[in-house]
Amino acid sequence: MQNNSIFSLSKRLLAVFMLVSFVFLLIIVRLAYVQLAKSKWLQSKALEQWQRELPLNALRGEILDCNRAILATNYSTYDIYVRPSMVSDAKSVTYILSKTLGLDFDKVYKKVTDRFVSESLIKLQVEKSTAMNIKEKNYSGILFSENNSRYYPYGSMLTQVLGFTTIDNVGQAGLEAYYNKYLTGVKGYVLEQSDVKGVKIDNTLSTYIPSIPGLNLELTIDINIQRFVEEAMELLIDEQKPKKASIIVMNPNSGEIVSMATSPNFDLNNVPRDDVSKLMETIKNINIVDVYEPGSTFKCITMANSIEEGVAHLSDTFYDPGYRIVDGEKIKCWKLTGHGHQTLSQGLCNSCNAVFVDLSLRLGKDKMYEMFKKFGLGSPLGVDFLGESGGIIMNYDSAKIVDVARMGFGQAVAVTPLQLITSICSIVNGGKLYKPYFVRTMTDVDGNIVSQTNPTVIKNTISQKTSDIMKTMMEDVIKQYSGYYAFIPGYHVGGKTGTSQKYDGNRLSGEYIASFVGTFPADNPDYVVLVVVDEPGGASYYGSIAATPYAKKIIEKIIDYKKYAPSADLIKDIIQANDTVKMPNVVGLSPADAVRVIEEAGLQVEIQHEGNIVHSQFPAPDTELSKNSIVMIDLQ
């Protein structure tokens, strides 16, 4: 009996020992887990208890033009915080902050007295002078973190290209948004040891973790040429009073965008944030985002492709009675009486719709749609910019033969201005369709190149032989058709005008888009200029009047800026250009008599609308003009 009791007691003691050992084992395992596996986490939590951090915002990268002129930079501002545990006079602190910063007293007071938070942000990007006024009061609990705000030295120039940032320096539009992650940089911190109330402990070390500045962007934009473009745009807006207008200058031999402007715009240093919908509409870069029917400027693409495909030859002749009948539908030429007999080159010079209907039908539906792909139409080109549109090409299966006929002269197809100018660039550069781009290099704060963009050929469009033919034909357009408004005496310039009626399910009466694309020098272009004017309100909606003069002004200034010498074979034109004639008064005359009088005066004439009598003219009678200038008469 006694042995059983001893045995029973031993079992109990063993059970207790095992239980205690298991508990201690659990404790040891837990301690080991805490000490080893969770040590870093615990250390970080401990640091949070006795350290306070003040952020050091990284300097945002600068944006520069191709000459390294600064387009977007920074200036010092301060972010103001409050640390409630350090505030000794809450009402005084609240008063100075709310009064100086223009904030609501009660809202600031709530932050100043909220001891459940370590720090509260009072306001971002306070001007240095204002921040120093607060700092001079020497109130405890107010903290200052140096920040930087964006500054654009050229104000409203390049509004849609550069874009802008939010108040906390995050890119919100334009290149600022597209390249935001490269421009932003990495934040730094100042770490201070503090007591349980968050008050800094005297005689302790502060840890400084420096910020890393963002990368700088060097653009393909030339600010000098941009200034020429902006001046031309200002004149265009004043004279034509359009709904919108846009201009692009591109280097055809690389895809570099040399200049780009859109109107309306605004000063990037004073972003109108009070009307968000209007702001988003104005900041939209219509050169890249919006599409339009290009009209006659598109004829250069159809002509180039027709020659390349062997369906058109310089020896071909055409007859234009003023229209073509396709699938039972009458397609009118802009000149209702027709151009009569003409060569292929004259078809482009006269911008004859009938000729381009013929070329479209010769190409046929399949080759027309192959042309769209070849010239980068119908899909984005891949420019380094947000929101690029691919244009609108009618579904292949839905397109009728009459639609294909209209596509040849720039109707029933919609493109972006960027797509149009990129296609024209390929026509005059030997057939290389380059990918357009804005950023040439990205460099770090020490000037080291981190990334570099090289010209990229997307596709080959035409042969060098066809390109040479097109350059000659486009110069002939300027010489024989567009006259003085586009031709610059002493220099070879090529180009093509365009006028298209806006379309919204139906042709919109009285709503037109005028355009002009120019190439300089015509025989080996360094620049291609595109001007697009949406609903011009001047004397005429034709491209030759509403768009061409402004491209001419840009090219003239580029000639002076880049110091192009006159061509020896055109020196005589400089002398002839000084001869002037006066615009005759033809109001009230019949169209035939008006044309005769104008041509006898040594001028060229374009006729607007239909009618039996001249209702108005442009320019006014007795205006002095150079010989061969184009004038406009309006019939009724």
Amino acid letter at 337? T
Do 133 and 100 meet the contact criterion of CB atoms below 8 Å apart?
yes
Cα-based distances in Å from 159 to 219, 265, 287, 356 = 15, 6, 12, 38
Give me the sheet containing 494-503, strands edge to edge.
257-263, 244-250, 527-534, 507-520, 494-503
296 is catalytic: yes
Token couple for 241: 């009073």
DSSP annotation string for 303-354: HHHHHHTTS--TT-EEEESSEEEETTEEEE-SSTT--EEEEHHHHHHTT-HH
Token couple for 165: 């940032």
Question: 326: which strand partners?
Answer: 329
Hey, is 40 helix, strand or coil?
Answer: helix
The one catalytic residue in 296, 515, 540, 629 is: 296
- The kind and range of the H/E element at 216 are strand 216-219
DSSP annotation string for 480-496: IIIGGGT--TTS--EEE
What single-letter DSSP state applies at residue 378? S
Identify the CA nearest to 410 among candidates 529, 315, 514.
Answer: 514
* 130: number of Cβ within 10 Å: 16
CB-neighbour burial class of residue 222 (10 A; exposed 0-12, middle 13-18, buried 19+) = buried
Cα-based distances in Å from 50 to 41, 44, 116, 189, 202 = 15, 10, 16, 15, 13
Distance CA 373, CA 389 (A): 15
Do 182 and 150 meet the contact criterion of CB atoms below 8 Å apart?
no
Cα-based distances in Å from 168 to 150, 163, 463 = 10, 15, 51
Hey, is 502 helix, strand or coil?
Answer: strand
Residues 6+ apart with CB under 8 A from 572: none
Q: How far is CA 373 from the centre of its chain?
A: 23
Q: Quote the Cα angle for 59-65-70, to 5°.
A: 45
Identify the CA nearest to 98 among candidates 123, 115, 76, 117.
Answer: 123
Distance CA 278, CA 142 (A): 38
Identify the CA nearest to 628 among candidates 435, 446, 484.
Answer: 484
Q: What pairing do the DSSP bridges indicate for beta strands 580-582 and 494-503? A: unpaired
Looking at the annotation, which residues are catalytic? Answer: 296
